[in-house]
Amino acid sequence: MSGFPRLIGTAFSLVFLACGTRVERQQSEPAPAPSIQESPSVRLRAASLVKFPAKVDCNSPAHWDGDRLYLFNSAPEPWGSSGKSVFDLGQAVLTQYQNKANGGRWIEATYKDDDGTLYGWYHNEPHPVCPAREALTAPRIGAALSHDNGATWQDLGFVLEAPADSLFCETENHYFAGGNGDFCVNLDSRKEYFYFFIGTYHRDSSEQGVAVARVPYTERQNPAGKPRKWYRGQWSEPGAGGHVTPIFPVKTDWNHKDADAFWGASVHWNSHLNQYVMLLNRAIDKDWKQEGIYISFNSDPGDPGGWSPPRKILDREEIVRVPDMGPGWYPQVVGIDAARRETDKLAGRIARLFVHGQSVWEIVFFRPGERAE
């Protein structure tokens, strides 16, 4: 695409293997990717800079309507933009909710239904939740719908919240004293369930990490009270106030100064791999310092135990050296094939890797045993 500056420096490519932590850097022609059997691999390649039109403070969902791509960036209210592809999005415009709420409502996920209705799910941060520490909050997740591609939103209420007794106001965490948030939503191929991949910040570390909930597709217009959380091998806990068993539990308690945890899942269906692909942040202290970006694979979102162990694809140093990258949060894959109507939820063999709202990388996916050119 013309009009975007090229990445300055020596041309390079990065190879990251999902079955291990090996990283190779080449200064000339890329070598073939090693043959692997266990899981797919990915390669990152330097590319021209692409930036989302508005400030980014969460996942940025996209959908198609006809030949036009719509994208939402939130920080904390959603801004919408559209264009012929992710490479030529127009100026962002602030979208509107039809009601007031306590705290911002970051739109983190969307789904465009066959009848034209756009469904959205938001991360909300109410204040105060700890009267003695007003800066702390405890996120919760709500649902919304739109009949004008997200220009205006009808709030459908909260659908996922942590148990009321799970707050920990004595936490050393910089932001959260509890809650459920930092999520994405994916509809399964059978159109039976929407799956939520959520960050959980319970006072008990056994319920901290990345967890899963789901709600029937048939309840999309009236979702409050309908989701169930995955807990001890079953979809047994209510979305509002229920317990969770994380699919990626924390290594060190979120409430400690040396917290070590995955968070901020972004999931897409990869048509080249025929698998779901999850990207994750990894925080390594109470201020959520980014250690790196990780990847995991699964063939079925309804199998919470089916996700492969997360493997790093970018080190912190590779992220923060990019200008304007900020803390380097919010990784997501965005498909670039307009003919296939690819988005943040659908991508093919070659896509774009965005971090904190900008991309200087192509991401190339390889099936197990498949070799790079």
**Residue keyed to tokens 């006072």:** 203
Most distant pair of Cα atoms in the chain: their distance: 59
What is the CATH code of the structural domain delimited by 13-366?
2.115.10.20
Amino acid 241: pLDDT = 98
Q: Where are the domains of the chain?
A: 13-366
The CA distance from 97 to 152, in Å, is 6
CA dihedral 16, 360, 270, 55 (to 10 degrees): 130
pLDDT of residue 371: 79
Given a contact cutoff of 8 angstroms between Cβ atoms, the answer to whether 219 and 228 are in contact is no
**Cβ atoms of 13 and 27 closer than 8 Å:** no
pLDDT at 373: 59
Give, for all 373 residues of the chain, the pLDDT tens digit. Answer: 333 232 323 233 343 333 333 333 333 333 333 333 478 999 999 999 999 999 999 999 999 999 999 999 999 999 999 999 999 999 999 999 999 999 999 999 999 999 999 999 999 999 999 999 999 999 999 999 999 999 999 999 999 999 999 999 999 999 999 999 999 999 999 999 999 999 999 999 999 999 999 999 999 999 999 999 999 999 999 999 999 999 999 999 999 999 999 999 999 999 999 999 999 999 999 999 999 999 999 999 999 999 999 999 999 999 999 999 999 999 999 999 999 999 999 999 999 999 999 999 999 999 999 976 5
**Residues 149, 118: Cα–Cα separation, whole Å:** 6
> Residues near 236 by Cβ (< 8 Å), separated by ≥ 6?
228, 229, 242
- Contact residues for 114 (Cβ-Cβ < 8 A; gap 6+): none
- Computed over its alpha carbons, how large is the radius of gyration of the chain? 20
Looking at 189-347, which runs of residues are DSSP E strands? 193-201, 208-216, 228-231, 234-238, 248-249, 261-270, 275-283, 290-298, 311-315, 331-335, 346-347
Name the pTM for this structure: 0.90
